[in-house]
Structure 1
Amino acid sequence: MTARLDSAAPTDAVTEVMSVAPAEVATGDSLRVVAEELTAGEIGAVVVRARGTVVGLVSERDLVAVVASGGDVESVQAADVMSTELITVGAGTSIAATGEAMLEAGVRHVLVERDTGIVGVVSIRDVLAVLLAGAR
Protein backbone atom coordinates (compact mmCIF):
# COMPACT_ATOMS: atom_id res chain seq x y z
CA MET A 1 0.00 0.00 0.00
CA THR A 2 1.14 3.53 -0.72
CA ALA A 3 1.76 6.12 2.01
CA ARG A 4 -0.37 8.70 0.16
CA LEU A 5 -3.63 6.78 0.50
CA ASP A 6 -4.76 8.66 3.61
CA SER A 7 -3.98 12.11 2.28
CA ALA A 8 -4.92 11.72 -1.40
CA ALA A 9 -8.15 13.13 -2.79
CA PRO A 10 -10.39 11.55 -5.44
CA THR A 11 -9.44 14.33 -7.86
CA ASP A 12 -5.70 13.70 -7.47
CA ALA A 13 -3.81 11.92 -10.23
CA VAL A 14 -3.75 8.15 -9.93
CA THR A 15 0.06 8.29 -9.72
CA GLU A 16 -0.40 9.46 -6.12
CA VAL A 17 -1.60 6.01 -5.07
CA MET A 18 -0.21 3.59 -7.65
CA SER A 19 2.33 0.93 -6.83
CA VAL A 20 5.56 1.89 -8.54
CA ALA A 21 7.74 -0.90 -9.91
CA PRO A 22 4.99 -3.50 -9.73
CA ALA A 23 5.84 -7.16 -9.19
CA GLU A 24 6.60 -8.92 -12.45
CA VAL A 25 6.93 -12.45 -13.77
CA ALA A 26 7.84 -13.86 -17.16
CA THR A 27 5.38 -15.66 -19.42
CA GLY A 28 7.07 -18.99 -18.75
CA ASP A 29 7.10 -18.69 -14.97
CA SER A 30 4.99 -21.25 -13.14
CA LEU A 31 2.00 -20.32 -11.07
CA ARG A 32 4.05 -21.29 -8.04
CA VAL A 33 6.37 -18.37 -8.89
CA VAL A 34 3.32 -16.15 -9.36
CA ALA A 35 1.98 -17.22 -5.96
CA GLU A 36 5.35 -16.50 -4.36
CA GLU A 37 5.38 -12.99 -5.85
CA LEU A 38 1.81 -12.33 -4.71
CA THR A 39 2.62 -13.51 -1.21
CA ALA A 40 5.95 -11.70 -0.91
CA GLY A 41 4.45 -8.41 -2.04
CA GLU A 42 1.13 -8.86 -0.24
CA ILE A 43 -0.53 -7.95 -3.53
CA GLY A 44 -3.35 -9.22 -5.72
CA ALA A 45 -1.79 -9.18 -9.19
CA VAL A 46 1.52 -9.37 -11.02
CA VAL A 47 2.50 -7.94 -14.38
CA VAL A 48 3.62 -10.46 -17.00
CA ARG A 49 6.42 -9.49 -19.37
CA ALA A 50 7.85 -11.07 -22.48
CA ARG A 51 11.07 -9.68 -23.94
CA GLY A 52 10.71 -6.53 -21.83
CA THR A 53 7.14 -5.80 -22.92
CA VAL A 54 4.06 -6.01 -20.72
CA VAL A 55 1.86 -8.73 -22.23
CA GLY A 56 -0.51 -9.60 -19.42
CA LEU A 57 -1.59 -9.59 -15.81
CA VAL A 58 -2.12 -12.57 -13.49
CA SER A 59 -4.36 -12.01 -10.49
CA GLU A 60 -5.03 -14.01 -7.39
CA ARG A 61 -8.39 -14.89 -8.97
CA ASP A 62 -6.58 -16.51 -11.90
CA LEU A 63 -4.43 -18.53 -9.52
CA VAL A 64 -7.38 -19.67 -7.41
CA ALA A 65 -9.27 -20.78 -10.54
CA VAL A 66 -6.40 -23.05 -11.53
CA VAL A 67 -6.09 -24.54 -8.05
CA ALA A 68 -9.87 -25.02 -7.76
CA SER A 69 -9.95 -26.92 -11.06
CA GLY A 70 -7.15 -29.24 -9.94
CA GLY A 71 -4.45 -27.58 -12.02
CA ASP A 72 -0.80 -28.06 -11.18
CA VAL A 73 0.83 -24.81 -10.07
CA GLU A 74 4.22 -26.20 -11.08
CA SER A 75 3.30 -26.90 -14.71
CA VAL A 76 0.77 -24.16 -15.48
CA GLN A 77 2.56 -21.04 -16.66
CA ALA A 78 1.68 -17.38 -16.29
CA ALA A 79 1.03 -17.19 -20.04
CA ASP A 80 -1.60 -19.93 -19.72
CA VAL A 81 -3.86 -17.90 -17.42
CA MET A 82 -2.89 -14.24 -17.80
CA SER A 83 -5.37 -11.61 -18.84
CA THR A 84 -4.25 -10.03 -22.08
CA GLU A 85 -7.01 -7.47 -22.47
CA LEU A 86 -5.35 -5.00 -20.13
CA ILE A 87 -7.13 -1.97 -18.78
CA THR A 88 -4.86 1.05 -18.65
CA VAL A 89 -5.25 4.63 -17.50
CA GLY A 90 -3.01 7.58 -18.16
CA ALA A 91 -0.78 8.89 -15.40
CA GLY A 92 -2.88 12.06 -15.17
CA THR A 93 -6.19 10.25 -14.73
CA SER A 94 -7.91 11.07 -11.45
CA ILE A 95 -8.29 8.45 -8.75
CA ALA A 96 -12.09 8.71 -9.04
CA ALA A 97 -12.01 8.26 -12.83
CA THR A 98 -9.71 5.27 -12.38
CA GLY A 99 -12.27 3.72 -10.04
CA GLU A 100 -14.99 4.31 -12.62
CA ALA A 101 -12.87 2.62 -15.30
CA MET A 102 -12.33 -0.37 -13.01
CA LEU A 103 -16.03 -0.64 -12.27
CA GLU A 104 -16.98 -0.42 -15.95
CA ALA A 105 -14.40 -3.07 -16.92
CA GLY A 106 -15.14 -5.32 -13.94
CA VAL A 107 -11.49 -5.50 -12.88
CA ARG A 108 -9.61 -5.05 -9.61
CA HIS A 109 -6.31 -3.84 -11.10
CA VAL A 110 -5.37 -1.36 -13.81
CA LEU A 111 -2.04 -0.45 -15.30
CA VAL A 112 -0.90 3.17 -15.28
CA GLU A 113 0.93 4.33 -18.38
CA ARG A 114 2.98 7.27 -19.57
CA ASP A 115 4.70 7.85 -22.90
CA THR A 116 7.53 5.67 -21.62
CA GLY A 117 5.23 2.70 -21.00
CA ILE A 118 3.72 1.10 -17.91
CA VAL A 119 4.79 2.96 -14.77
CA GLY A 120 2.61 1.37 -12.11
CA VAL A 121 -0.41 -0.62 -11.01
CA VAL A 122 -3.46 0.54 -9.07
CA SER A 123 -5.71 -1.82 -7.17
CA ILE A 124 -9.33 -1.35 -6.22
CA ARG A 125 -8.09 -1.27 -2.61
CA ASP A 126 -6.02 1.83 -3.41
CA VAL A 127 -9.02 3.59 -4.95
CA LEU A 128 -11.42 2.59 -2.17
CA ALA A 129 -9.03 3.78 0.54
CA VAL A 130 -9.02 7.27 -0.98
CA LEU A 131 -12.77 7.39 -1.59
CA LEU A 132 -13.59 6.12 1.90
CA ALA A 133 -11.08 8.46 3.58
CA GLY A 134 -13.10 11.36 2.16
CA ALA A 135 -16.28 9.93 3.66
CA ARG A 136 -14.91 9.79 7.22
Structure 2
Amino acid sequence: MLVSNVYRPTVFACRADEPLADVARRMIERKVGALAVLDGDRVAGIITERDLAGALASSPDPAAEEAAGYASARVETAALDEDAGDVARRMLEAGIRHLPVDDHGRLVGMVSMRDLLALETWAA
Protein backbone atom coordinates (compact mmCIF):
# COMPACT_ATOMS: atom_id res chain seq x y z
CA MET A 1 0.00 0.00 0.00
CA LEU A 2 1.20 3.52 -0.77
CA VAL A 3 1.54 6.49 1.57
CA SER A 4 -1.09 8.26 -0.57
CA ASN A 5 -3.64 5.79 0.83
CA VAL A 6 -2.90 6.38 4.52
CA TYR A 7 -1.58 9.89 5.14
CA ARG A 8 -3.59 12.82 6.50
CA PRO A 9 -3.97 15.24 3.56
CA THR A 10 -4.13 18.34 5.74
CA VAL A 11 -1.10 20.43 6.58
CA PHE A 12 -1.06 21.42 10.23
CA ALA A 13 1.77 23.86 10.73
CA CYS A 14 3.14 26.74 12.74
CA ARG A 15 5.56 29.55 12.02
CA ALA A 16 9.19 29.21 13.10
CA ASP A 17 8.84 32.32 15.30
CA GLU A 18 5.56 31.25 16.90
CA PRO A 19 5.50 30.97 20.73
CA LEU A 20 5.38 27.43 22.08
CA ALA A 21 2.17 28.22 23.99
CA ASP A 22 0.42 28.82 20.64
CA VAL A 23 2.01 25.70 19.15
CA ALA A 24 0.74 23.56 22.05
CA ARG A 25 -2.73 25.08 21.77
CA ARG A 26 -2.86 24.32 18.04
CA MET A 27 -1.84 20.69 18.63
CA ILE A 28 -4.61 20.32 21.19
CA GLU A 29 -7.23 22.02 18.99
CA ARG A 30 -6.30 19.91 15.95
CA LYS A 31 -5.76 16.73 18.00
CA VAL A 32 -2.35 16.09 16.45
CA GLY A 33 1.02 15.18 17.91
CA ALA A 34 3.21 17.17 15.51
CA LEU A 35 3.24 20.30 13.39
CA ALA A 36 5.39 21.24 10.43
CA VAL A 37 7.42 24.35 11.25
CA LEU A 38 7.34 26.80 8.37
CA ASP A 39 9.78 29.57 7.58
CA GLY A 40 7.78 31.32 4.89
CA ASP A 41 6.77 28.53 2.49
CA ARG A 42 9.74 26.34 3.39
CA VAL A 43 9.52 23.48 5.90
CA ALA A 44 12.18 24.42 8.43
CA GLY A 45 11.47 21.63 10.88
CA ILE A 46 8.91 19.58 12.71
CA ILE A 47 7.82 20.09 16.30
CA THR A 48 6.28 17.30 18.35
CA GLU A 49 4.74 16.72 21.74
CA ARG A 50 8.11 15.31 22.78
CA ASP A 51 9.77 18.62 21.83
CA LEU A 52 7.23 20.53 23.92
CA ALA A 53 8.00 18.28 26.89
CA GLY A 54 11.69 19.05 26.40
CA ALA A 55 10.94 22.78 26.47
CA LEU A 56 8.99 22.36 29.72
CA ALA A 57 11.91 20.54 31.27
CA SER A 58 14.66 22.92 30.16
CA SER A 59 13.32 26.44 29.80
CA PRO A 60 12.47 28.84 32.64
CA ASP A 61 9.63 30.25 30.48
CA PRO A 62 8.73 27.62 27.86
CA ALA A 63 5.49 29.34 26.79
CA ALA A 64 7.50 32.30 25.50
CA GLU A 65 10.08 30.25 23.57
CA GLU A 66 9.80 30.06 19.78
CA ALA A 67 8.96 26.89 17.86
CA ALA A 68 12.21 26.96 15.89
CA GLY A 69 14.23 26.68 19.10
CA TYR A 70 12.79 23.25 19.94
CA ALA A 71 11.83 21.84 16.54
CA SER A 72 13.81 19.10 14.86
CA ALA A 73 15.63 20.86 12.05
CA ARG A 74 16.55 17.70 10.15
CA VAL A 75 13.32 16.91 8.38
CA GLU A 76 12.79 13.63 6.61
CA THR A 77 9.76 13.32 4.38
CA ALA A 78 7.66 10.59 2.84
CA ALA A 79 6.57 10.67 -0.79
CA LEU A 80 2.99 9.98 -1.86
CA ASP A 81 4.12 7.10 -4.08
CA GLU A 82 6.34 5.52 -1.41
CA ASP A 83 5.46 2.14 0.04
CA ALA A 84 3.85 2.58 3.47
CA GLY A 85 5.79 -0.40 4.88
CA ASP A 86 9.09 1.17 3.82
CA VAL A 87 8.06 4.44 5.47
CA ALA A 88 7.14 2.60 8.69
CA ARG A 89 10.57 0.92 8.73
CA ARG A 90 12.33 4.27 8.18
CA MET A 91 10.34 5.82 11.02
CA LEU A 92 11.16 2.95 13.38
CA GLU A 93 14.86 3.08 12.52
CA ALA A 94 14.96 6.86 13.05
CA GLY A 95 12.84 6.72 16.23
CA ILE A 96 10.27 9.18 14.90
CA ARG A 97 6.48 9.07 14.94
CA HIS A 98 5.56 11.69 12.32
CA LEU A 99 6.74 12.42 8.79
CA PRO A 100 5.67 15.28 6.55
CA VAL A 101 4.38 14.04 3.20
CA ASP A 102 5.90 15.64 0.14
CA ASP A 103 4.52 15.75 -3.39
CA HIS A 104 7.30 16.88 -5.74
CA GLY A 105 8.65 19.45 -3.29
CA ARG A 106 5.27 20.59 -1.96
CA LEU A 107 4.12 19.76 1.59
CA VAL A 108 0.73 18.03 1.31
CA GLY A 109 0.17 16.43 4.72
CA MET A 110 1.57 14.24 7.46
CA VAL A 111 1.77 10.50 8.11
CA SER A 112 2.06 9.15 11.63
CA MET A 113 2.90 5.81 13.16
CA ARG A 114 -0.74 5.69 14.24
CA ASP A 115 -1.83 5.96 10.58
CA LEU A 116 0.53 3.14 9.63
CA LEU A 117 -0.54 1.00 12.58
CA ALA A 118 -4.18 1.44 11.58
CA LEU A 119 -3.31 0.28 8.07
CA GLU A 120 -1.60 -2.82 9.44
CA THR A 121 -4.49 -3.52 11.83
CA TRP A 122 -7.23 -3.21 9.22
CA ALA A 123 -5.25 -5.23 6.64
CA ALA A 124 -4.92 -8.18 9.01
The structure 1 residue matched to 2:19, chosen from 18, 21, 30, is: 30
Alignment of 1:63-102 (within 5 A): 63-102=52-91
CA RMSD of aligned residues (A): 1.3
Unaligned runs of 5+ in 1: 1-11
C-alpha contact 2:12 2:109 (8 A) present in aligned 1: no
Measured in 2, the distance between the counterparts of 1:87 and 1:115 equals 14
The structure 1 residue matched to 2:31, chosen from 26, 33, 42, is: 42
Task: Report the counterpart of residue 5 of structure 1 in structure 2.
Answer: none
Instruction: Write out per-residue CA displacement over residues 32-91 of structure 1, whole angstroms, 9 at most, x where no aligned residue.
Output: 011011101111000110121111100000001111235423321101001011111211
- Equivalent residue of 1:19, what SS? coil
- Equivalent residue of 2:93, what SS? helix
C-alpha contact 1:87 1:105 (8 A) present in aligned 2: no
Measured in 1, the distance between the counterparts of 2:53 and 2:60 equals 10
Distance 1:131 1:84, change over 3 A: same
Q: Give the 4+ runs in structure 1 shifted more than 2 A.
A: 68-71
Identity across the alignment (%): 31
Measured in 1, the distance between the counterparts of 2:28 and 2:60 equals 19
TM-score by length of 2: 0.92
Of residues 28-37 and 62-71 in structure 1, the stretch that sits farther from structure 2 once superposed is 62-71
Task: Report the counterpart of residue 131 of structure 1 in structure 2.
Answer: 120
Unaligned runs of 5+ in 2: none
Measured in 1, the distance between the counterparts of 2:12 and 2:82 equals 22
Count of residue correspondences: 124
